[in-house]
Amino acid sequence: MKSRTNVKVFIVDDSPMCRFLYKRHLMNIGFSNIYLFESSKQCLANIQLMPDIILLDFDAPPGNGLDVLKEVKVLYPHIHLLMISAQQDIHVVIEAIRFGVSGYIMKDENQLEMMSYATDKILNDNKFLFVS
């Protein structure tokens, strides 16, 4: 299992409140190497920093999370990408799975608990997980 303090995490969400909430939660569970981005464009411009995990809002302008997922997985298949979204369209979830998402977390009252669960799974080298 990797040490949380050595894991580099990108948080990509256009909502300042969500970025703050996710960062605070990740810090509370032991992560310290966290980068915040308000757009997918900013995330991709900094991808050379080689994050271990990207927490990506589906609605990460410009485009959407699937566009970022496809680009990241083609160039850097070892990066774990957790999609976080209020999007409930099953076709979006299926497409995310098809392109190699490591997990899909619904934005709801359980999202922080699910974020903890998903990052634990990734750190323990478990395969794909679906979180809702």
Dump pLDDT digits (tens) for 56-65.
Answer: 998 877 778 8
Dump pLDDT digits (tens) for 78-119.
Answer: 999 999 988 778 888 888 888 889 999 988 999 999 999 999
Tell me the pTM: 0.91
- Chain mean pLDDT for the chain: 88
In the beta sheet, which residues pair with residue 85? 106
Q: What is the mean pLDDT of residues 12-23?
A: 95
The CA distance from 129 to 61, in Å, is: 25
The pair phi, psi for residue 113, each rounded to 5°, is -60, -40
Q: Could you tell me what percent of the chain has a pLDDT over 90? A: 59
> What's the pLDDT band for 4 if we cut at 50, 70, 90?
confident
In the beta sheet, which residues pair with residue 80? 53
